[in-house]
Amino acid sequence: MTTAASGRHTGQAPLARRRSGPATLVLCRAVLPGHQQAFEEILHRLAAEARAFAGHQDLTVLRPQPGGPLTYTIVARSATGPDLDAWLSSDARARLVTEADAHAAGVLATRHLSGLEGWLALPGAPVIVAPARWRIVVISLAGIVPLLEAVSYLLAPHLAGLPAWARPLISAAAVIPLMQYAVMPVLTRAARGFLYPAPPGGTP
């Protein structure tokens, strides 16, 4: 979902009421020519404020490409929707966004993502681009196969006496959160070049 908004998180119901689990907010903002340095100083202060909020995981700022549009992309990730809502509705963020408005051209475009969609978002892209499906399959296999082996090895002695139908349920309950919160964030960062290869003749 992409929306255009001013500084504060407005419009639809808060993200916390609509999504659970990890939450990602992607923002795109065009900057007035000659205002890049002032805008980036505000972004540094914004990142420092965001780190102080509970559940904050990551904030990445992608600068405009040389010779391209003066558009900055900011990707903010939080552990949960309520954590992200707390940051979006904070006075600290509202104050800094108001400062940034003086250096910006046009409206602030935002997009909310959740779960694996957020971790597989391409940082720096004005529009979120999904990787090729076969690449997602490869990365998912690279994470889930060793994780399944490890979980099976650790849990097998404790599951031996349980009914056959209960054992895979317990294993899945252990594997899925680990994939979501621990394995995929690391894998998608480490394999960014594989998920998003540079086009032929292009630059990464």
Establish if 187 belongs to a structural domain: yes
With a CB cutoff of 8 Å and minimum separation 6, the contacts of 16 are 80, 81, 82, 84, 85
Establish if 80 belongs to a structural domain: yes
Average pLDDT for 83-103: 91
Q: Which of 92, 119, 146 is the last residue of a domain?
A: 119
- Are 51 and 113 in the same domain? yes
pLDDT tens digits, one per residue of 145-185: 999 999 888 988 888 888 888 888 898 888 888 887 788 87
Which CATH number belongs to the domain containing residue 48 in this structure?
3.30.70.100
Percent of the residues in the chain that have a pLDDT greater than 90, as a whole number: 17
- Are 143 and 105 in the same domain? no
Q: What is the domain count for the chain?
A: 2
Stated pTM of the model: 0.52
The confidence band for 90, taking pLDDT boundaries of 50, 70 and 90, is: very high
Mean pLDDT of all residues in the chain? 77
Q: Which of 65, 93, 119 is the last residue of a domain?
A: 119
Distance between CA atoms of residues 196 and 131, nearest Å: 6
What's the confidence (pLDDT) of residue 113? 66
What's the confidence (pLDDT) of residue 109? 82
Collapsing DSSP to helix, strand or coil, 181 comes out as helix
What's the confidence (pLDDT) of residue 115? 52
Q: Which of 119, 143, 178 is the last residue of a domain?
A: 119
Roughly what angle, to the nearest 10 degrees, separates helices 166-178 and 133-159?
Answer: 130
Query: Residue 40's domain spans which residues?
Result: 2-119
pLDDT tens digits, one per residue of 120-134: 454 444 434 456 778
